[in-house]
Amino acid sequence: MTTPVHADHDPHSDAPLKTPLYDAHVALGARMVPFAGYYMPVQYEGILAEHAHCRAAAGLFDVSHMGQATLRGADHATVAGALETLVPADILGLEPGRQRYSQLLNGRGGILDDLMVHRAPGADGTLGLVVNAACKVADYAHIAARLPAGVSLEIHEERALLALQGPEAVNVLVSLGADVANWDFMQVGPASLAGIPVFLSRSGYTGEDGFEISVHADTVVDLWQILLGDPRVRPIGLGARDSLRLEGGLCLYGHDIDETTTPVEAGLLWSIQKRRREEGGFPGADIVRSQIAEGVARKRVGIKPDGRAPARDGTEIVDENGVAIGTVTSGGFGPTVGGPVAMGYVAVVHARPGTRVGLLVRGKALPAEIVSLPFVPARFHRAPK
Amino acid sequence: MTKYYTEEHEWIAVEGKVATLGITDHAQAQLGDVVFVEVPTVGRKVKKGEETAVVESVKAASEVYSPVTGTVVAANEPLASNPITVNEDAEGAGWFCRIEMSDPAELEVLMDEAAYKAFVEGQ
């Protein structure tokens, strides 16, 4: 049998770092693997069980490998203006207590990284950033080199990050004293969980309702144990994190998006608000705006194989005549779907849902169909306006 | 019946000229939840070292190689609809196929259970 090659194998594995929860993961019997420069838990009890638990109750993830930073300047207009030169989202219009998804773009409109940007309640001159672990060193250098005088980047090595995801996540946090039941999707703010100060955002990477919990590294182990003390909560590894986000149609940086894909090709146009589309002023704006106006040659799509065989990242996609039309960028087994699921890029003429395609797996063209994303409907909590 | 093991974590159980092929319990534990299995068609001729079956977990695909040359005389078709059997009973109900061997001398280089156990512990 060949040794399994993990889709998340990465070149940063020389001297992996440990998050503050490393010993806690080992104590739970996690299988630890190098990922994005850190030893991370790929699974505890098993990916299928963890995936199902997260969709049914509440799953706890250690995502402390991700980068947390703050942009600081004189007022909101100053920091937002500085960040808007690097990302295509409307940051000036970001209200206090809200978070937005965006991308750091290069001059060709390619995606250097995707990130979350938040403005804390009452903040006038700070913006919080959460970036991908594998990109964080490059992101920080990229951002710092482009900031105007008077705006600084502060990196929060002292902070850890947890995610609590699933339909019971909100109830768990409420039971620990956080008044978050009526929070809206993408709302952010400070809170206290069993007396531990945290900064919450109602967001995540699973397609479920849930929260990301930024907490000081000195208290993260205590908070982890308190959260796991709730019978609704179980720890979830990177394996289920990947299957959950794939079913949720969410992009994995380095696979579904990278420096060669633009937000328009990636189907992320919803994250570029109207004012930015009209005004431009971000890297690659000319290319992005011409793609919006004239269309793109290829698009990210969902792909559902007819049979049971998964099609992995890198699988060639062909049309009904066997002609190459694209490539799978994420693919595997969807536990909630109960079968294989994939995402990839195809030429736009083949991108319409219902289009029949073939996936070249082990020399055979497996029949599959282009489908709308996500595979599992999102259950984000939208508060009534 | 004599059971042999490979360094690639396959097992074969030999009775007369027929060898039953599967992956070891150690291998299934390393793979994690198995979600897809492809077994060979009956009648297919396989060579020693040839890819004979495919086993996929949630995260990854692995090829299963036959340690012997011969003809597939039976395939465990129910695995296709019940791949988790490989996790539950890798060295029993989770077998992939039976091969009628054409060169039983190929067995001589394979490990017995004690040698395989030592091999796994040394990895």
C-alpha to C-alpha distance for A174 and A190, rounded to whole angstroms: 14
Which string of b and e fits A66-100 if b means at least 16 CB within 10 Å? bbbbbbbbeebebbbbbbbebbbbbbeebeebbbb
Mean pLDDT of A154-166: 98
Instruction: Judge: B32–A242 Cβ closer than 8 Å, yes or no.
Output: no
| pLDDT for res B35 | 96
Q: Is pLDDT at A293 greater than 50 in this prediction? A: yes
Q: Is pLDDT at A7 greater than 70 in this prediction? A: no
If chain B, 123 residues long, is cut into consecutive pieces of 10 residues, what is the mean pLDDT of each piece?
96 97 96 96 97 93 96 97 96 98 96 96 89
* Residue A331 forms contact with B (CB below 8 Å): no
Q: Which two tokens stand for residue A154?
A: 């502060």
* Residue A7 forms contact with B (CB below 8 Å): yes
Closest chain A residue to B52, measured at CA: A1
Side-by-side strand order, sheet with B51-57: B34-38, B51-57, B61-65
Closest CA of chain A from B41, distance in Å:
15
Q: Which of A5, A46, A308 sits opposite B32 (nearest CB)?
A: A46
DSSP secondary structure letters along A278-339? HH--STTHHHHHHHHHH--SEEEEEEEESSS----TT-EEE-TTS-EEEEEEEEEEETTTTE
Question: A178 CB contacts (<8 Å, ≥6 apart)?
Answer: A191, A192, A193, A198, A200
Assigned fold of B2-122: OB fold (Dihydrolipoamide Acetyltransferase, E2P) (2.40.50)
| pLDDT for res A5 | 43
Q: Measured between beta carbons, which residues in chain A are less than 8 angstroms from residue B8?
A: 1-2
Q: Which residues pair with A287 in a beta bridge?
A: none
Q: Is pLDDT at A8 greater than 60 in this prediction? A: no
Task: Fill in the DSSP letter of residue A222.
Answer: H
Closest chain A residue to B24, measured at CA: A1
Closest CA of chain B from A339, distance in Å:
8
Closest chain A residue to B30, measured at CA: A4
| pLDDT for res A14 | 67
Closest chain B residue to A242, measured at CA: B59
| pLDDT for res A6 | 45
* Residue A149 forms contact with B (CB below 8 Å): no
Q: Measured between beta carbons, which residues in chain B are less than 8 angstroms from residue A48?
A: 33, 35, 58
C-alpha to C-alpha distance for A318 and A298, rounded to whole angstroms: 14
Q: pLDDT band at residue A384, thresholds of 50, 70 and 90?
A: confident
Q: Measured between beta carbons, which residues in chain A are less than 8 angstroms from residue B38?
A: 309
Q: Which two tokens stand for residue B35?
A: 């979600």
**Which CATH superfamily includes the segment(s) A17-64+158-247?**
Probable tRNA modification gtpase trme; domain 1 (3.30.1360.120)
Q: Do residues A310 and A332 make contact, with C-beta atoms less than 8 angstroms apart?
A: yes
Q: Residues 178-217, chain A: which have Cβ within 8 Å of B?
A: none
Q: Which residues pair with B37 in a beta bridge?
A: B55
Q: Is pLDDT at A11 greater than 60 in this prediction? A: no
Q: Measured between beta carbons, which residues in chain B are less than 8 angstroms from residue A43?
A: 32
| pLDDT for res A383 | 84
Every domain of chain A and the residues it spans: 17-64+158-247, 297-371
Q: Which two tokens stand for residue A59?
A: 């799953």
Q: Which of B36, B38, B63 sits opposite A1 (nearest CB)?
A: B63
| pLDDT for res A311 | 97
| pLDDT for res B60 | 87
Measured CA to CA in angstroms, residue B42 lies from A249, A308, B97, B100 at distances of: 39, 20, 9, 11
Q: Residues 289-308, chain A: which have Cβ within 8 Å of B?
A: 308
Q: Do residues A262 and A284 make contact, with C-beta atoms less than 8 angstroms apart?
A: yes
Instruction: Judge: A332–B30 Cβ closer than 8 Å, yes or no.
Output: no
Measured CA to CA in angstroms, residue A359 lies from A6, A243, A306 at distances of: 20, 19, 10
- If one counts every other C-beta atom within 10 angstroms of the C-beta of residue B44, the result is 16
Q: Is pLDDT at A18 greater than 80 in this prediction? A: yes
DSSP secondary structure letters along A8-77? T--TT-SS-EE-TTHHHHHHTTPEEEEETTEEEEEESS-HHHHHHHHHHSEEEEE-TTSEEEEEE-SSHH
- Taking the alpha carbons at both ends of chain A, their separation in whole angstroms is 56
ipTM: 0.88
Measured CA to CA in angstroms, residue A231 lies from A23, A171, A179, A302 at distances of: 21, 12, 20, 35
Instruction: Judge: B62–A308 Cβ closer than 8 Å, yes or no.
Output: no
Q: Is pLDDT at A137 greater than 90 in this prediction? A: yes
Mention the CATH class of domain A297-371.
Answer: mainly beta
The mean predicted confidence, pLDDT, of chain A is 96
Q: pLDDT band at residue A3, thresholds of 50, 70 and 90?
A: low
Q: What is the pLDDT of residues A36-88, one digit of tens each?
A: 999 999 999 999 999 999 999 999 999 999 999 999 999 999 999 999 999 99
Q: Which two tokens stand for residue A93?
A: 């219009």
Q: Which residues pair with A380 in a beta bridge?
A: none
Strand pairing category for A364-371 and A356-361: antiparallel
Instruction: Judge: B31–A48 Cβ closer than 8 Å, yes or no.
Output: no
Instruction: Judge: A309–B65 Cβ closer than 8 Å, yes or no.
Output: no
Task: Fill in the DSSP letter of residue A109.
Answer: S
Mean pLDDT of A243-267: 98
Instruction: Judge: B9–A47 Cβ closer than 8 Å, yes or no.
Output: no
* Residue A364 forms contact with B (CB below 8 Å): no
Q: Is pLDDT at A385 greater than 90 in this prediction? A: no
Mean pLDDT of A144-154: 97
Closest CA of chain B from A275, distance in Å:
41
